[in-house]
Chain A
């Protein structure tokens, strides 16, 4: 991404706090910060992958960007539009340009509708086509995602998982979006079918200039599609950079552990696992200081890590990490921080 290009999507200090109401099994209610001051930007035509283990806040972040959940605070700009300031009607119009594709297309497709009607629905709602023109458009879309015209008459349950995901993608494409949030789009699919769907997403991106936010836990899958990677842990982005840099020279011990945990499909590979102790703490009871401290295998970790939450800092060009024990990899002084990581945040971007 060149420094001057305006990103298509820009998220600043996004926060989502859930109030825990009532008493749950005798435990006093409190609040849970699912997403904690998350900032990132995605250039047009790029793919930012949001990776992390379950509960890290990646899905909530993706849904908040689409305003499928309302963020507690923060700012979201889409093509220069302040998304959180939009009322219901303009938001509905904007939704045409930003579409979701979900993990389980079975539960996100209406089981009582034929897939032709499912794909057609968005066209009609957004007034893009109707009648015979809409039917023709549905056939084009189905061909584009690799479905046959006769599939239009079938119901979702008559498809395999991979074909259902193609239906989900065709539905998203119908309204000609610029941006798609893909939430674990291939994790329910067989390996060979995963590749088919990733190839489809790559082709569509090339042909239509689509921008993706790709949410996934599988780093091997992410490697196939991401241009940039943001690693989340307990609601925060802890490392962020170009995919090649994050994969080849990970800075955060957590990122290194995630990468080392992936077993390569090669029995001669020597595994050098960086073991983590225990499980991720609950976001309900996030520890003080660095939230990764208890599990961190860093040789220089000490009490200093528990005093303050480490900031996400540039450690190499375009590559930032939240670890006070890792010095910069390359001189970054004098570099203009890319819009990915705003160093100076303007005002209080508070929306209620």
Chain B
């Protein structure tokens, strides 16, 4: 990979809770190159969103970014910057879109006003010029009648249009990095498809780097060029998208891929004969749930849910092994490949 644009180094974030210290993000190192879309996937509670919030330094106590963590952009460690300097980076160099477009917009201000405000806070623009930039930004994200829409309030817009408005607001200052946290999860499927196509198109045209946080492997397959998988506060696998979907090495990644629902209806005489859906065949799932961040398991944090685990996994935390130049996996199987041969088919073959 070329020189990264954004580089996260050994990020550790803790939360002090009644139940003890939660190590929500525990030693994450991740590079984002200019012009790439990196998908960050994992179940809820694995630390994806906390990682993203750390990059923008939006976390508030009891969250704490531990000393030794670094986040580099433009040759500077963002975690060492004074808040004032950080403020000029948010929006201008790194922007973020969130899942819930209604709560991210102010209900009593027109959307044109809200986008123009972003411009005026960061640049010495006149009211009129900022307004023009807002309308242009709405046009860029495919909002029809941008002049009219700019004069409307959030409640007058559909969910899909509101999400476009948030995208316009994020892009109005041409940031180098866009962090999109579940940007389409709250939307209907047809609207979601439009938004994803728009995001891909804008990324190509503007050459932004995008950190795309999602639990949806379909979204990752469609948009991402590279994928990083998080589990229990750590990165467990990282690879180019085609490589990851074809040759996932970590049993957690394999489990996620197998659990992803597919459109094909279940085989069998559905509705055509006497047999009904029940028992037609169970889905592959990952047993159990993500453990609480206050008590990550010893050794490999996935060992108690892993069908490939052996005694070493319980004892010893695996390092992140390089499978090849662009593919890493935090699994002892990468160091003991001969064990893979003894595993059940589901974990050794490629995933459907």
Contacts and interface: CB of A to CB of B under 8 A. Distances in A.
Contacts of A263: 193, 196, 216, 218-219, 221-222
B43 A220 contact: no
Given A192-B286, A199-B285, A242 B272 contact: yes
Interface in B172-231: 188-194, 196-197, 215-222, 224
B255 A192 contact: yes
Interface in A1-33: 1-2
Contacts of B277: 46-47, 202, 205, 225-227, 243
Interface band, chain B: 35 or more
Contacts of A209: 278
Interface in B264-288: 264-266, 270-272, 274, 276-280, 282-287
A205 B279 contact: yes
Contacts of A264: 218, 221, 262-263
A223 B261 contact: yes
A133 interface: no
Contacts of B95: none
B16 interface: no
A190 interface: yes
B221 A266 contact: yes
B221 A195 contact: no
A221 interface: yes
Contacts of B274: 2
Given A243-B265, A266-B245, A195 B284 contact: yes
B260 interface: yes
Contact of B270 (A191, A195, A207, A243): A243
A261 interface: yes
B283 to A, nearest CB: 4
Given A190-B215, A243-B265, A269-B221, A224 B197 contact: no
A177 interface: no
A268 B242 contact: yes
Contact of A265 (B217, B278, B280): B217
Contacts of B241: 267
A53 B188 contact: yes
A163 interface: yes
B245 A265 contact: yes
B245 A267 contact: yes
Interface stretch (A58-66, A134-142, A270-278): A270-278
Nearest to B242: A267
A50 interface: no
Contact of A53 (B190, B221, B222, B263): B190
B279 A265 contact: no
A191 B217 contact: yes
A195 B188 contact: no
A276 B187 CA distance: 14
Contacts of B222: 263, 267, 271
Contacts of A267: 220-222, 224, 241-242, 245
A162 B43 CA distance: 12
A156 B315 CA distance: 33
A198 B283 contact: yes
Interface stretch (A69-77, A90-98, A244-252): A244-252
Nearest to A219: B263
Contact of A247 (B190, B265, B282, B284): B265
A191 B193 contact: no
B44 A190 contact: yes
Contacts of A194: 259, 261
A323 to B, nearest CB: 17
Interface in A184-201: 190-196, 198-199
Contacts of A258: 189-190
Nearest to A190: B43
Interface in B284-305: 284-287, 289-290
A195 B259 contact: yes
B276 A279 contact: no
Contact of B271 (A162, A202, A242): A242
A279 B191 contact: yes
A342 B241 CA distance: 49
B265 A226 contact: yes
Contacts of A227: 270-271, 276-277
A290 B221 CA distance: 35
A266 to B, nearest CB: 5
A220 B262 contact: yes
Given A258-B189, A263-B221, A220 B245 contact: no
Given A227-B271, A242-B270, A273-B197, A265 B276 contact: no
A242 B224 CA distance: 35
B7 interface: no
Given A192-B256, A195-B283, A226-B277, A53 B262 contact: no
Nearest to A261: B193
A224 B281 CA distance: 9
A223 B264 contact: yes
B161 interface: yes
A108 interface: no
Nearest to A246: B265
A193 B261 contact: no
B96 interface: no
B327 to A, nearest CB: 14
Contacts of A260: 193
Contacts of B218: 220, 262-265
Interface string B8-31: 000000000000000000000000
Interface of A: 1-2, 43, 45-47, 53-54, 160-163, 190-196, 198-199, 202-207, 209-210, 217-221, 223-228, 241-245, 247-248, 257-269, 271, 273, 275-276, 279-280, 318
Given A191-B259, A318-B271, 9 more contacts: A195-B259, A205-B277, A205-B279, A220-B260, A242-B272, A258-B190, A262-B263, A267-B221, A273-B197
Interface of B: 43-44, 158-161, 188-194, 196-197, 215-222, 224, 241-242, 245, 255-257, 259-266, 270-272, 274, 276-280, 282-287, 289-290
10 cross-chain pairs, A with B, having the tightest CB-CB distances, nearest first: A242-B271, A205-B278, A263-B218, A206-B279, A206-B278, A195-B285, A220-B261, A53-B188, A261-B193, A265-B217
7 contacts: A53-B189, A53-B190, A202-B282, A203-B279, A220-B261, A242-B271, A268-B242
